[in-house]
Amino acid sequence: MTTMPQASRSDSHATLIATPVRSLIKRAPVTVAPETPIVEAARVMREERISSVLLVQGGALVGLVTDRDLRDRVVAERLDIDRPVSDIATRGLRTIGLERSAFHALLVMARHHVHHVPVLDGHSVVGMITSSDIAEHESDSAVLLTGAIFDQTRLEGLVQASARIKTLQQRLAAAHASAHATGHIVSALTDALTTRLLQLVEADLGPAPVDYAWVAAGSQGRNEQTAKSDQDNCLIVSDDYDEALHGDYFRELSHRVCDGLSACGYVHCPGGMMAMTDAWRQPLRRWRAYFERWIELPEPEALMLTGVFLDQRFVYGRPEPIDALRAEVVGRAKDNKAFLAALAGNALVRQPPLNWLGRLALIKGGEHDGTIDLKMHATVPITDLARYYAYAAGSPSVNTRERLEAAAQSGVVTEGQARDLIDAFEFLCGLRLQHQARLVSEGQNADNFLAPEAEMSNFERSHLRDAMKLIGTMQGALAQAHPVNLI
């Protein structure tokens, strides 16, 4: 068995040493004058979708205000929001020159326990980098882990490699990397594990007798996976497939790969939505028949299945079958009003956990008393809304953010609505990742049950309520567009 490399952290740092800070700057600096009222500075941060704002006077940088300052120095202290923002600013800032390396920026953050570092060109501020920017750049460490995965020649090595994914997710969460970036990184690593398992099984069984596509579904298909996930996948085989001649080969291949993924921490799907299940290991013609039936007769079981299998993405093999199938399904769904109405109804099933007063409605009693389910009653409702919007727009997008952006471009929702849902989804997914990272760091199993009173500040709970109210508002608008008697 090939041993795991021990120098991944130093290799990652070497990459940062070679990376100039200028390459991490994503936008021009957002600045306000020191005398700007706190409330106006907060509005600027919201409108610009940033976590900090720079204070500049006479062309010189004089201070910094972050969203944490708004929480700790304004909300927690009940400070008058009409006071000048300079009253809550951090002075004597740690800065970095434009030509310094990303690694030097990382050292500044680590040594001085800061998450935002202004970048200067001489005495002029030209940008801002955050710990999140560096963490997302350090996704190169995911590239190193991917290399380690493909170095393995036995399942035992892949199990050891997969154990490092949780550590990587913890590092990304600690550095406040975006949930969008984290989902793509974790999903890419699951793709790598799946691909390597398929390669090892093919090496043992021999080449596949006919072409096939191994397809990710569910959260992996959407590039939104976390280290706490079961597996959703399927197999689309060429129409040259003959059960009598080829059935044993693909049955053995799919069982070995699904069992291997389970050994790596991606447990078997409780509903059996995996390639090892006979129904989900079929030739292209059968998959066409499946989707035709589900779209023409959108009964509850069909909607449950489409909720998983509409979120498909090619992973390994030949991509032509899945490409052809997705194009057909998108076209068929967009033109079927009954199916879209049923898909809309499905997006209304999981309501946000709010009581009639608009307050968070926590689970009462049982193992999860005093918590909310961040997956089923927070992120999934937005995923369901985005899936409906995408198919109504005729978009082949699978990722939730990309679906919402496509829906806005097509006019299914307004740009403002899409932007709000994207921000709410990022916030809720980020809460979920931070919650899971905390549990894992404490030696507990990751789950989706957040205790707002114990784990969040008043400021954060306010944002959580706002996100839930937004979901309810969007669901209400969808219900008006598709009255219940049509669903």
Tell me the domain boundaries of the chain: 8-131, 139-329, 342-486
Fill in the amino acid letter for 100: R
| Euclidean distance between CA atoms 95 and 279, whole angstroms | 59
- 50 in Cβ contact with 129 (< 8 Å): no
**For all residues of the chain together, what is the average pLDDT?**
89
Higher pLDDT, 6 or 182: 182
- Residues for the chain: how many in total? 487
Taking 50 as the threshold, does the pLDDT of residue 8 lie above it? no
Residues sharing a CB contact under 8 Å with residue 13, sequence separation 6 or more, in sequence order: 103, 106
Return the higher-pLDDT residue of 421 and 103. 421
Q: Report the DSSP beta bridge partners of residue 61.
A: 56
User: Is 18 a residue whose pLDDT tops 80?
Assistant: no
Based on C-alpha coordinates, what's the Rg of the chain?
Answer: 24
Q: Is residue 373 classed as helix, strand or coil in its secondary structure?
A: strand
Per DSSP, what are the bridge partners of residue 236? 213, 282
DSSP 8-state class, residue 238: -
**Span 304-328, mean pLDDT?**
90
Which tokens sit at 358?
């608009």
Note whether 49 and 25 are within 8 A (CB).
no
Spatial distance between the Cα atoms of 162 and 290, rounded to a whole number of angstroms:
33
Which strands make up the sheet holding 96-97, listed edge to edge? Answer: 96-97, 116-121, 124-130
Predicted structure pTM score:
0.75
> How far is it, in rounded angstroms, from Cα 456 to Cα 306?
35
Percentage above 70 pLDDT, the chain: 93
Range 197-226 average pLDDT: 96
Q: Which CATH code for domain 342-486?
A: 1.20.120
In 3-state terms, what secondary structure has residue 99? coil
DSSP 306-347: HHHHTS-EEEEE-SHHHHHHHHHHHHHHHT-HHHHHHHHHHT
CA distance linking residue 452 with residue 463, whole number of Å:
11
Is residue 137's pLDDT more than 80? no
Burial letters 286-298, b for 16+ CB under 10 A, else e: ebbebbeebbeeb
Of the given ranges (135-139, 226-230, 258-262, 351-355), which has the lowest mean pLDDT? Answer: 135-139
pLDDT of 145: 84
**Phi and psi, residue 212, nearest 5°:** -155, 165
Least confident of 32-36, 39-43, 443-447: 443-447
Q: Give the amino acid at 257.
A: V
When mean pLDDT is compared across 133-147, 166-180, 364-378, 428-442, the lowest value belongs to 133-147
- CATH node for 8-131: 3.10.580.10
Q: Is pLDDT larger for residue 176 or for residue 323?
A: 323
Q: What is the pLDDT of residue 11?
A: 44
| Dist. CA 372–CA 353, nearest whole Å | 7
Euclidean distance between CA atoms 69 and 389, whole angstroms: 37
Q: How far apart are CA 24 and CA 207, in angstroms?
A: 44
What confidence score (pLDDT) does residue 449 get? 95
Query: What pLDDT is attached to residue 487?
Result: 39
Cβ-proximal residues to 286 (8 Å cutoff; 6+ apart), any chain: none
pLDDT at 17 over 80: no
Percent of the chain with pLDDT over 90: 67
Mean pLDDT to the nearest integer, 183-195: 91
Mind listing the pLDDT tens digit for each residue in 78-115? 999 999 999 999 998 889 998 888 878 877 887 677 88
In this structure, are residues 315 and 189 in contact, taking their beta carbons and an 8 Å threshold?
no
Looking at per-residue pLDDT, the higher value among 371 and 182 belongs to: 371
Dihedral of CA atoms 131, 221, 334, 379 in degrees, nearest 10, equals -50
| Confidence (pLDDT) at 287 | 95
- The pLDDT score that the predictor gives to residue 414 is 96
pLDDT band, residue 194 (cuts 50/70/90): very high
Q: Which comes out higher in pLDDT, residue 373 or 481?
A: 373
Contacts with 197 (C-beta within 8 Å, 6 or more apart), sequence order: 155, 158, 256, 257, 260, 261
User: In angstroms, rounded to a whole number, what is the distance separating the alpha carbons of residues 463 and 457?
Assistant: 10
Secondary structure of residue 101 in the 3-state scheme: strand
pLDDT of residue 483: 65
> pLDDT grade, residue 256 (50/70/90)?
very high
Q: What is the helix, strand, coil percentage profile of the chain, to 5?
A: 55, 15, 30
Q: What is the C-alpha to C-alpha distance for residues 336 and 332, in angstroms, rounded to an integer? A: 6
Q: Are strands 212-216 and 233-237 parallel, antiparallel or unpaired?
A: antiparallel
Q: Which fold has domain 139-329?
A: Beta Polymerase; domain 2 (3.30.460)
List b or e across 253-264, with b for residues whose CB sees 16 or more CB atoms inside 10 angstroms.
Answer: bbbbbbebbbeb
Give the pLDDT of residue 120. Answer: 93
- Alpha helix ranges (H) inside 353-457: 380-393, 400-410, 415-441, 452-455
Which letter, b or e, does each residue of 144-155 get, where b requires 16 or more Cβ atoms within 10 Å of its Cβ? bbbebbebbeeb
Choice between 248 and 24, residue whose per-residue pLDDT is larger: 248
Amino acid identity for residue 306 in this structure = T
Helix (H) or strand (E) holding 75: none
